[in-house]
Amino acid sequence: MAVLYAELARNSLDALPLDRAVLAAFADLARTSAGHVAELGCGPGYLTAHLRDLGLDVFGVDLSPVMIDLAREAYPDLRFEVGSMDALDLPDGKLNGIVSWYSVIHAPPQDVPSYLAEFRRVLAPGGHLLLGFFESEGEPVTAFDHKVTTAYRWPIDELAGLAGEAGFIEVGRMLREPGEDERFRRGHLLMRLGK
């Protein structure tokens, strides 16, 4: 499944101008201070490589050793590490930016606050966080049968509220409707850690 996903995902951003726009906005903001950016739940690494191409000093972390092997093979010039987003092997305040692109989607809803708390711990004050996720289109948090394992669609306001409780200030949000081969509306939250 990881190999199939890596093949499908590799050039997926080419057809997604709004996704590229929100990633470019994140990169513009993150570049204003020096420091590392982490893509947490990086999967096969194509987005980590895209962030590098946007001028960021970025590395990837994923729970799946198979995904990390695929990422290292595809992008040997980038750093990828096995690890969990809720227990990162990083000192406090180490990062200048975090991208979690469809990676908190598999976390049971009650666990999401602990992920956000870990993001807050490893980000420097003023650092930026970009969350990409499936939006629930007026429904409460809803589980669905994702190809790999159960995933959840979130009301954008609810996820923004949890991030706010974790100390993040909203910079902006982007919603886009599903494309031809997609099932759900997509949500994107760009946040900044309060100083």
Ligand X SMILES: C[S@@+](CC[C@H](N)C(=O)[O-])C[C@H]1O[C@@H](n2cnc3c(N)ncnc32)[C@H](O)[C@@H]1O
Minimum separation from the CB atom of position 103 to ligand X (A): 4
- Dihedral sign for Cα 66, 35, 47, 117, please: positive
Minimum separation from the CB atom of position 106 to ligand X (A): 5
* Most distant pair of Cα atoms in the chain: their distance: 42
Minimum separation from the CB atom of position 40 to ligand X (A): 6
The DSSP element (H or E) to which 186 belongs, if any, is strand 186-193
Nearer to ligand X, 8 or 169 (CB): 8
Nearer to ligand X, 86 or 158 (CB): 86
Reported in sequence order, the residue ranges of the chain that DSSP labels E, i.e. its strands, are 36-40, 58-62, 79-82, 95-101, 123-134, 142-144, 151-153, 168-176, 186-193
Minimum separation from the CB atom of position 99 to ligand X (A): 8
Nearer to ligand X, 48 or 96 (CB): 48
SS3 label, residue 68 = helix
- DSSP label at 105? G
Give dist(CA 37, CA 145) in Å, integer. Answer: 31
Nearer to ligand X, 32 or 110 (CB): 110
Nearer to ligand X, 43 or 97 (CB): 43
Minimum separation from the CB atom of position 130 to ligand X (A): 11
Return the closest-CA partner of residue 164 out of 99, 120, 121, 111: 120
Minimum separation from the CB atom of position 140 to ligand X (A): 21
| 124 phi/psi in degrees, rounded to 5 | -75, 150
Nearer to ligand X, 119 or 168 (CB): 119
- DSSP label at 194? -
User: Using an 8 Å Cβ cutoff, are 22 and 174 in contact?
Assistant: yes
Interface ranges with ligand X (CB under 6 A): 9, 40-43, 47, 61-64, 67, 84-86, 101-103, 106
